[in-house]
Amino acid sequence: MNNGDSQVLSILKAKLKNAQKSLTDLFGTALFEDGAVTATELTSLCPIDNSGTAGDADNHVFSNTFGRTLGAITSASGDYWDALNTAFSDASDGIDLTANATVEAEHLAESSEGSGVAQIIVDMTKMYGSCSIDSDQPDLIVTTQVLSDIYETALMNKKRFVGTETAVGGFTGLQFKNAVVVVDSHVPDGHMYFLNSNYLDYKVHSNRNFAFEDFRTREEYDAVIARIFWMGQFTCTNPRMLGVLTAGANV
């Protein structure tokens, strides 16, 4: 059906691209996995208390995920060591935002009472400041498409363009203070993560850094296969400099 060396190479290129996309999706899913993390899984940003519960004042982003102990500092004994977890502000009219996502989206995009600044920007400013010490500040904000759209809408009357070419078709990326705001489809609904890449890293085994084994035949199929190996862990050395806003809009 696909004769000749060129056709074989064409299929191989397609399969390698598929493998790359699959690996990217696997890592994205693992980083925001909602549930308990086992010893053979990547540490997740998502489970605030390993149950996915958001908005609980007693929970912190990395509190049970890392299960770390450094000297006498533990997640249980030192809240100052944990990342920050705060819910987006509720609407002033007392509407239950969890039951009315459209109202919540409008509330976040509208100006907060008395300040003239959109509520989402007020909340982001508070979280950004809480995750900052002098010039040590978040450099990456990862969120959902819905919250990114609300943030961009809040900036509509404040947009400034350096050149006309970059303005065609809207922005491909946004910035908040010194942090780049990006969308990731794996982020749980209503979440916005404030990350500092100085304290996040992958520790990878040198012999398992996407190691590619030779192709081999499979007895049950008229085909050859090869496996890609990766072994490592997602680590954080200073969760105090990270934060998450939860219970945001989901429409």
For 130-172, the pLDDT digits (tens) are: 999 999 999 999 999 989 988 888 887 665 444 555 444 445 5
pLDDT score recorded for residue 235? 81
pLDDT score recorded for residue 111? 73
Does position 14 have pLDDT exceeding 80, yes or no?
yes
Q: What is the CA angle 111-131-189, rounded to 5?
A: 60
Does position 124 have pLDDT exceeding 90, yes or no?
yes
Sign of the C-alpha dihedral computed for residues 4, 7, 12 and 13 taken in this order: positive
Asked whether residue 24 is domain-assigned, the answer is no
Asked whether residue 116 is domain-assigned, the answer is yes
- Decide: residue 121, CB within 10 A, 0-12 exposed, 13-18 middle, 19+ buried: buried
Matching residue, tokens 């109202």: 103
Asked whether residue 62 is domain-assigned, the answer is no
Q: What is the mean pLDDT of the chain?
A: 74
pLDDT score recorded for residue 19? 87
> Which range (96-105, 163-172, 199-208, 212-221) has the least confidence?
163-172
Q: Which residues make Cβ contacts (< 8 Å) with residue 15, sequence separation at least 6?
A: none
Exposure class string for 62-100: b at 16+ Cβ within 10 A, else e:
bbbbbebeeeeeebeeeeebbbbbbbbbebeeeeebeee
Asked whether residue 71 is domain-assigned, the answer is no
CB atoms under 10 Å from CB of 157, counted, come to: 6
pLDDT tens digits along 33-49:
766 566 677 777 764 43
DSSP, collapsed to helix, strand or coil, labels residue 228 as: strand
Q: Residue 200 in contact with residue 142, Cβ under 8 Å? A: no
Q: Nearest-CA neighbor of 95 among 104, 87, 86?
A: 104
pLDDT score recorded for residue 134? 93
Does position 227 have pLDDT exceeding 70, yes or no?
yes
Cα-to-chain-centroid distance, residue 98: 21
Asked whether residue 40 is domain-assigned, the answer is no
> What are the two backbone dihedrals, phi and then psi, of residue 41, each rounded to the nearest 5 degrees?
-115, 160
pLDDT score recorded for residue 48? 43
| Confidence bin at 226 (pLDDT 50/70/90) | confident
pLDDT score recorded for residue 59? 34
> Which range (41-45, 61-65, 121-125, 229-233) has the least confidence?
61-65
Helices (H), 131-184: 145-154, 164-167
> Which range (63-67, 88-92, 183-187) has the least confidence?
63-67
Q: What is the CA angle 31-144-168, rounded to 5?
A: 125
What residue numbers bound the domain in which 142 lies? 84-245
| Confidence bin at 62 (pLDDT 50/70/90) | very low
Asked whether residue 196 is domain-assigned, the answer is yes
Asked whether residue 147 is domain-assigned, the answer is yes
Structurally, how many domains does the chain consist of?
Answer: 1
Asked whether residue 122 is domain-assigned, the answer is yes
User: How big is the chain by its Cα radius of gyration, in Å?
Assistant: 22
Q: Residue 198 in contact with residue 250, Cβ under 8 Å? A: no
The reported pTM is 0.75
